A and B are shown apart, each in its own frame.
Chain A
Amino acid sequence: MEPKFAKGGKLEKWNPVFESFTTLAFTPAHVTKRGAHIRDGVDLKRTMMTVIIAMLPCLLFGIYNTGHWEMVASAGDRSIDFWSNGGEKIILGLWVVLPLIVVSYGVGLTIEFIFGILRGHSLHEGFLVSGMLIPLVMPADVPLWMVGVATAFAVIIGKEIFGGTGMNILNVALTARAFLFFAYPTSMSGDKVWMAGTESTSVDGFTGSTALGDLASFMGDKPVFDSLDSFTNNYSFWDSIVGNIPGSIGETSVIAIMLGAAILLFTGVGSLRIMASFFAGGYLMGILLNAVGGNPYLDLPAEYHLVIGGFAFGAVFMATDPVTAAQTATGKIIYGLLGGCMAILIRVLNPAYPEGVMLAILFMNVMAPIIDHYVVQANIKRRMKRLKTA
């Protein structure tokens, strides 16, 4: 079969596709030509597969959680026990989440293959991760066509026009999320989207708002809760950690996210510097806002900020994307700290955006080259100084 795809063969143009699948099944017989005759076992496929494995706990929990809230929404009854009717909830969840995954991978990979054929290279592995991240950062009730459009936008504008995997400036999955956020604001925020099935609920006045939405209302005229205490009674710290609250599919369970973080950190695929400093930045900003105080949102205990919304998910899976994060060791710490601060700052002080993590990370993606620039300059100056003292 191979000769057909080889140079001069009938299907030469399709060689990138052929190659993508054969290299998936077999590590190719490429041998070293120049330089070091032996090479490390690690390659980009294994690295990216590890990230996907690290996301599995979030995905599995997300499926269950989505099923649970769909059941709640259709019954209009918040008192349904989270852990009962497991099988039914999993099926309900799969019914919502699987199509999202299929659309995300389907659209994204098609575009990747087209670019691969145009440029004559096989599939680069970056999208394998992005394709899983995109469904995980979507609200459960988002229309499938929107996911398709957003994925196409993110892959083409966010990545391929820069040259593909490794060249992009913005995190691809967050670009997709941001695209939807700004292009279809009514479908991406507010009360209706966070639970599958809310639209069809027969119970009047039932909303599927999230913790962040309710918190943001403290900044406006009509808060959902009358005090911080009634908020924390409704969303307990423990619930936020377990994750049995509404939210984007993959972001709710801090436990699942931490399992993923453990895999990333143990294998060294995710940067500890970025993760730790991102959490530290968020916590510091939370304390700072507490010190300012004045309304229940500003008074929200700092540790709450780290477990609600997409903060933990962003810190572990989004901010650590090596391509779009800072690349120097010192730069990573600065990048994480600023990103964490910015996420909480936007979340609390900007009433238009209930969640600040997405925008904070995108903003830091843009800033990362500047941070790196100063770190590199410091290194250069240090060695210049050596010349003068010598």
Chain B
Amino acid sequence: MSKTVKLRKGLNIRLLGEANKTRSELVVPKTISIKPTDFHGMIPKMVVKEGDQVKAGGSIFYDKYNEAVKCASPVSGKVQAIVRGEKRKIMEIIVEADAEIQYEQGTPVEVSSLSSEEVKAKMMAAGLWLYVRQRPIDIVANPTNEPKAIFVSAFDSSPLAPDFDYVLHGNDAEFQAGLNALSKLTTGKVHLTLNGKAAADATFTQAKGVQINKIIGKHPAGNVGTQIHHIDPINKGEYVWTVNAQDVVIIGRYFLTGKYDARRTVALTGSEVKDPHYVELISGSNVGNLLAGQVTTDNVRVISGNVLTGDKIAADGHLGFYHNQITVIPEGDQLKFVLTKGWMGPGFDKFSNSRLFPTFLLAGKKFRLDTNTNGEERAFVVTGELERVFPFDILPMQLVKAAITDDIDGMEALGIYEVAPEDFALCEYVCTSKIDIQDKIRKGLDLIQQECM
């Protein structure tokens, strides 16, 4: 029984630098990096040492608390460095890639012939388990839990996001194989949610064995969190797993070919990119060569992911594990004079959800926004603004306050189990008091995990 959900709340931030629909060929990067920090809360136990040779699909590390969950190298090559941070925490594992990728060859299998446990075991051994994430807490799924449903979003509504209909066109077989594998993991349904406003690609509309839902609305309509809340909400003690659509294809490819082939199409976007377009990349690729000559100015911020939830990386840094997008925007580290570009300025260059700026007069205009916070951090003063961009039946301000004050009972009652930091990204964007809301929610989730899970 498919559902159609209409959202009234939300916000589409209109940015310059959307990717053109051209795709450049796969280039094997010089190095790739695996950042254990992409898997929040996971403590990696290394399998390889610096200088070891690995094949694509060979294990790099496993999860200290779930030894079966392995992380695999997406390329073959030599482990160049294991970068450690404070308290010797492993920050990054850098692999120098061979020019020709050697795969750890498994045998292609028909998923339908496998049991649920066999699918799980195969995915964990091949390093595919990391693509499966769980709500609550928004971490890599714990394979011992029973999810009541699995959600896949067929579109990304965040600013300048890649168009999955374009990216996954023609990947029907892999996508279907991936969905088949996922449906083995739950006794409940696998939900695939399409954008109700656009005609979706056949990859999605022809998908079988899943419940296809539609959601209509502004961002965060494409976030799985929003979709779960409106289609099959999470209550205390329940689990829902989520997988990104491109990652479903990678999982499917593994079952079809027996190889861990982590190619994905990444959108190179942002106002500072000369020719925004799509590129085929391997997970964790170094983006230095890609960006060389592509960036218009020097003082930029390179983001792996989108502007709302992505990670800041160096200009020669590496793509994150889950990211389908690279965004380059100007840094905003300049003083802005009050009457021109500052807080009293006319503000035609600023995108605001409030009517204090003339954004509402400029329908359709796309903006070049920088990383300036446009003001200093303050206590919460303005009320009602978070609610306008938060399409949940949850009171965002009260939940954030409960998270700030470490109020576990309050967070539980107010719905912390249903949310992930990314669901609050827009709240953080519009917040007049410039509070780092995603960070507060993450800390609240960590506390809940520690005390209640």
Residue numbers of A with Cβ under 8 A of B are: 23-47, 49-50, 122, 124-126, 163-167, 266-269, 271, 322-323, 325, 327-329, 332, 372, 376, 379-380, 382-383, 386-387, 390
Q: How far is B206's CA from A69's CA once the two chains are assembled, in angstroms? A: 79
Give the Cβ gap from B238 to chain A, nearest Cβ, in Å.
9
0 or 1 for each of B347-361: is its CB under 8 Å from A? (1 = yes): 100111111110100
Decide yes or no: A42 and B393 within 8 Å by CB, A34-B439, A37-B308, A126-B381 being known contacts: no
Give the Cβ gap from B37 to chain A, nearest Cβ, in Å.
13
A267 partner residues in chain B, CB cutoff 8 A: 354-356
- Whether B338 contacts A25 by the Cβ 8 Å rule is yes
Q: How far is B397's CA from A254's CA once the two chains are assembled, in angstroms? A: 34
Q: How far is B374's CA from A30's CA once the two chains are assembled, in angstroms? A: 8
Give the Cβ gap from A5 to chain B, nearest Cβ, in Å.
15
- Whether B432 contacts A42 by the Cβ 8 Å rule is yes
B372 interface neighbour in A31, A124, A271, A328, Cβ under 8 Å: A31
| Listed A/B pairs (21) with beta-carbon separation below 8 Å | A25-B338, A27-B338, A27-B374, A30-B375, A34-B438, A34-B439, A38-B371, A41-B359, A42-B375, A42-B430, A43-B434, A44-B382, A166-B379, A166-B380, A268-B355, A269-B382, A327-B383, A327-B384, A379-B414, A386-B233, A387-B236
| Given A26-B338, A36-B309, A39-B429, 12 further pairs, Cβ under 8 A | A31-B331, A31-B332, A35-B308, A37-B307, A37-B310, A42-B357, A46-B356, A125-B378, A166-B381, A266-B355, A268-B356, A328-B395
A25 partner residues in chain B, CB cutoff 8 A: 337-338, 342
- Whether A271 contacts B307 by the Cβ 8 Å rule is no
- Whether A27 contacts B438 by the Cβ 8 Å rule is no
Q: How far is B308's CA from A36's CA once the two chains are assembled, in angstroms? A: 4
Give the Cβ gap from B299 to chain A, nearest Cβ, in Å.
11
Q: How far is B430's CA from A39's CA once the two chains are assembled, in angstroms? A: 7
Decide yes or no: A29 and B381 within 8 Å by CB, A40-B353, A43-B374, A383-B415 being known contacts: no
Q: Give the residue name and chain of the B residue nearest to A164 (CB).
A: B379
A23 partner residues in chain B, CB cutoff 8 A: 376
Pairs of residues from A and B, 4 with the lowest C-beta to C-beta distance, nearest first: A43-B375, A166-B379, A41-B350, A35-B438
B333 on interface, CB distance cutoff 8 Å: yes
Give the Cβ gap from B423 to chain A, nearest Cβ, in Å.
12
Q: Give the residue name and chain of the B residue nearest to A381 (CB).
A: B413
- Whether A41 contacts B413 by the Cβ 8 Å rule is no
Give the Cβ gap from A377 to chain B, nearest Cβ, in Å.
9
- Whether A38 contacts B370 by the Cβ 8 Å rule is yes
Decide yes or no: A47 and B428 within 8 Å by CB, A27-B335, A37-B301, A165-B381 being known contacts: no
Q: Which of A40, A266, A328, A383 gathers the greatest number of chain B CB atoms within 10 Å?
A: A40
Give the Cβ gap from A260 to chain B, nearest Cβ, in Å.
15
Q: Give the residue name and chain of the B residue nearest to A382 (CB).
A: B393
- Whether B338 contacts A268 by the Cβ 8 Å rule is no
A383 partner residues in chain B, CB cutoff 8 A: 233, 235, 393-394, 415
Give the Cβ gap from A43 to chain B, nearest Cβ, in Å.
3
Give the Cβ gap from B413 to chain A, nearest Cβ, in Å.
5
B379 interface neighbour in A30, A35, A49, A165, Cβ under 8 Å: A165
Q: Give the residue name and chain of the B residue nearest to A331 (CB).
A: B383
Q: Give the residue name and chain of the A residue nearest to B375 (CB).
A: A43
A37 partner residues in chain B, CB cutoff 8 A: 301, 303, 307-308, 310, 312, 327, 329, 371
- Whether B336 contacts A26 by the Cβ 8 Å rule is yes
